[in-house]
Amino acid sequence: MTTATAISHRTIQTNGINMHIAEAGEGPLVLLLHGFPELWYSWRHQLPALAAAGYHAVAPDVRGYGGTDAPQPIEAYSMKNMVADAVGVLDALGEQTAVVAGHDWGAPMAWNCAITYADRFRAVIGMSVPFLPRGPIPPMQLFRQVFANQFFYILYFQDPGVAEKELEADVRKSMRTFLYSASGDVPPPEANFWQKPKDSTFLFRLPDPGHNLPSWLTEDDLDEFVGEFERTGYRGGLNRYRNMDRDWEDSAELAGAKVRQPAMFITGERDGVRSFTPPPEQMREHVPDLREIIVVPGAGHWIQQERPAEVNEAMLKFLGSM
């Protein structure tokens, strides 16, 4: 890796917390927001590629993860706080505007950055999770109706301590199993092990690859995730799920809001999120400048890790078009 694309690390202050960021390059700011259960490291392939193309790429550990503060109260992980953290990164770096990209939970953060602080975020790239307009009822009420007779992980994550106990019993196994099971490398029909009895645990039936990791995930990569989650636990990340009804209550003024900035959406053909979210084409009503929808054949949920070349190419093409 050349000096121009080397990844450096530092801690900044934003929205009342200390946030660890990884960054590379100089130029227009591109903010990269990760999801669950991930870290800045999920963007390890994008940081040098964006830097080499003339951008300042910044990937924080979002609140609750890695080297960033993890406040104790559940409500500290509301979407309002996550978005305020992101805006605070721009302030800390002395930047007026940025392009924001997000994967998994980072995608709703990115979409909400765009609609809440339209003057600060000039474009948005969503990965895995499409823009979802505010629904007519609280999310947990909807999920309890839709998944009345089967397990659904978001409902399982609601009770503090339950998922933590399961996932933290053996962090290496839980991380390895989760990353593999949601990837495009699981032999079809991969959906079968997600469809399980209502009283199941999260890891029940999920295949553990052991040392037979997929090609995109090395033992060194796994060590990066495991080392941090053994230290911090999963609570910070899980608290994001426990704010979904609070977010709904907090966002009445955003009902009907549109993402008016240039936007792009990238997902994997075999991403399980597609099974319970609307087709991405439906976003066009709410994201009128949605310039491209990319579905990567054979890829699963961890799109920027599984298919870095395709994701980097798509991101750079989109960034270069503005």
**Backbone dihedral angles phi then psi of residue 29, each to the nearest 5 degrees:** -80, 130
Which pair of structure tokens corresponds to residue 125?
Answer: 């790239």
Strands laid side by side in the 29-33 sheet? 8-14, 17-24, 56-60, 29-33, 98-103, 121-127, 263-268, 290-296
| Residue 301: active-site member | yes
C-alpha–C-alpha distance, residues 41 and 222, integer Å: 10
Helix ranges (H only) for the chain are 46-52, 79-92, 106-116, 139-146, 153-156, 162-168, 171-181, 219-232, 235-241, 244-250, 303-306, 308-320
With H, G, I as helix, E, B as strand and everything else as coil, classify residue 295: strand
Q: How far is residue 87's CA from residue 211's CA, in Å, rounded to a whole number? A: 40
- Collapse the DSSP code of 136 into the 3-class scheme (helix H, G, I; strand E, B; otherwise coil) and give the result: coil
61, 69, 85, 104: which one is catalytic? Answer: 104
Torsion angle (degrees, nearest 10) of CA 193, 194, 197, 201? 100
Q: Give the CA radius of gyration of the chain.
A: 18
Question: Phi/psi of residue 314, each to 5°?
Answer: -65, -45
Say whether 245 is catalytic: no
H helix or E strand, kind and range, residue 60:
strand 56-60
SS3 254: helix
| Dist CA 190 CA 181 (whole Å) | 8
Hey, how many other C-beta atoms are within 10 angstroms of the C-beta on 232? 20
Active site residues: 104, 301
